[in-house]
Chains A and B, each alone.
Chain A
């Protein structure tokens, strides 16, 4: 059973909403902010004001997919998020920490639940289908995607899958402190964003096909290498692979990504998506959307290349990601 990406939408330091979108480059060295589209084009105006950014990014992505695909009846709605509605959570926590006995506004509490994004999509489109939210660190999005692939196997069509996270003042502050106190090969600029996908089991010419998704934890580098070798052998990746997209940054490729590169042919193109997304629990949703763009021949203007691929339109792409050296994942995609 194959799973195809019928349509995708992404918001990161780049987005897929306009035709000439500039990269949102911040002078700050510790975080990368999302380049948000004009929300009023995608979300009812009366609702925008009340929604937090992570909800707006998610709704904008699902609306764009609806506009592009013409489909608004979903087989299931499945969202992954690492920190959920962290800005509203912080707002409510601050109220509680300051004075628990004062009159507390319930609004940020109501909007703080992790399933707000999936719930709001269901509410806006009146979708009663299965609705799930995964919050599992660097595998939050992968859990949602795997569930989507399971629903396709069970015979559903048009399954909406997404990953989204937002930056908050406290996340930024603590991350900055962490970067200063514990320099490590895995620490990157912290980021935010959303990537949403409409999955189908119906083959459509030219659409990106998800051949495999593997999520795993490792016990040391040898165990990691063994697991990679098995995956490479299973899919015969010594030939035919055009590009590997790493959840890394150009100048500071982490040790696990280095091991992967050592196992693949030197002529393969190598790109680094966290160069533009930054690090967050669901950054791989941005990575998948970027890979989908490249496989669809849309190209990408920004310099993410360690080794620019020979073909301008790759046919087979491997994504490898980890979160702070844990929560490893491999995606094999083709057209």
Chain B
């Protein structure tokens, strides 16, 4: 079977811009979460994983003038995508034949929110703005800007979206449809999602507490992360360097409820199980689990139960990194895939933050950046609609 390698990564989140800043802050337990400052909400005290610059400032500091009036998704995506392309050292010709699978749930919602305000106020509407609403918009704008002219697709499966984009890219390479794919996702904060989760009463107004008994809910975040995936042949041909390998993936549906996870974590169990089977690894070869760990009461207990069903009493060191970045929705899977690669590179577990009384159903998550031999990482992403996905990332 063909192998799928990661040859480049890029990331932006509330922790900062780029892999280096993420690594530094993750291992020094520095969170990116703080009260709202940019999002135009009246609920200013809520803690969010926000990138503390306006969209226009972000676009201007890179002189991406063409993005000035575009959605925040496009600009955040451009930061992560340019880093991924640079780190893989891809030239124009190579980019031209590279496929791109983006993932997003909000699309150009920030722009649509402006239009809705104008329509309500019966003001004149800039129609071109509306054309940025759909989820496909950011993928095409980014693909065009960076000259990614191979196959293009956009996945929208709620919070598992970008894990699914990694899986799809890997499948396309294994089937020989493409030799090189850029995969990942982006979601900016929006009034729509912020108020959506608030109305569901699953936002913790303060710092979220993944896997704590007194957890109250999630902190919403924003960000983007992309991975360059390549076949062995493609790497050899251009003399590229592998950073990691995508060694397994699994996607299953919980088929329990539109938004809530089943208590026994059926979907999560099946997704992890199918990823491990797909990788051909033994259970004791998984060295670290980057959990979905949103810090909602239901997710963490359901995911904990699924981990217990898979690993029994031998659950590997695990943690949630949502207390650093917030829940970046469609981007969460690729953000955490990049964090998993950082853990492999540094041979350290990412510490779980804000824990005072760990849940008792399973052993507590890792709380220190312990030095550990990490060869295989399992990373989970679960979403609305019962979508559960897992990916296994391995050292090379």
Contacts and interface: CB of A to CB of B under 8 A. Distances in A.
B267 interface: yes
A110 B384 contact: yes
A159 to B, nearest CB: 13
A202 interface: no
Contact of A115 (B158, B195, B256): B158
B258 A136 contact: no
A135 B200 contact: no
B177 A93 contact: no
B383 interface: yes
A106 B193 CA distance: 11
A100 B196 contact: no
A105 B201 CA distance: 11
Given A97-B117, A281-B134, A122 B253 contact: yes
B150 to A, nearest CB: 10
A314 interface: no
B379 interface: no
B311 interface: no
A128 B267 contact: yes
Interface string A149-187: 010011000000000000000100110011001100000
A281 to B, nearest CB: 7
A96 B1 CA distance: 50
B41 A178 contact: no
Nearest to A104: B199
Contacts, number: 181
Contacts of A122: 253, 255, 385-386
Contact of A131 (B154, B196, B385): B385
Contacts of B120: 94, 97-98
A106 B259 CA distance: 11
A118 B255 contact: no
Interface string B165-194: 000100110010100000000000001100
B127 A115 contact: no
Nearest to B102: A136
B8 interface: no
Contact of B154 (A106, A135, A170): A135
Interface string A90-125: 101111111011001110011111111011101101
A134 interface: yes
B130 interface: yes
A303 interface: no
Contacts of A153: 175
B354 interface: no
B251 A131 contact: yes
A70 to B, nearest CB: 21
A123 B153 contact: no
Contacts of B125: 174, 177
Contacts of B267: 128
A153 B176 CA distance: 11
Which of A96, A123, A217, A326 has its CB near the most chain B CB atoms (within 10 A)? A96
Contact of A100 (B133, B149, B191, B383): B191
B62 interface: no
A119 B156 contact: no
B135 interface: yes
B200 A110 contact: yes
Contacts of B258: 110-111, 116, 119-120, 123
26 contacts: A92-B195, A93-B113, A93-B192, A94-B120, A97-B117, A100-B41, A110-B258, A110-B259, A112-B196, A114-B158, A115-B384, A116-B385, A118-B157, A123-B257, A125-B255, A128-B255, A130-B251, A132-B157, A133-B157, A135-B107, A135-B155, A136-B154, A137-B137, A154-B171, A154-B175, A173-B119
Interface of B: 41-43, 105, 107, 112-113, 115-117, 119-120, 125, 127, 130, 133-137, 139-140, 149, 151-158, 164, 168, 171-172, 175, 177, 191-192, 195-196, 198-200, 251-259, 266-267, 270, 383-387
Given A132-B164, A174-B130, 14 more contacts: A84-B156, A92-B195, A100-B41, A106-B200, A109-B199, A109-B200, A114-B135, A119-B384, A119-B387, A131-B385, A135-B107, A136-B139, A136-B152, A136-B154
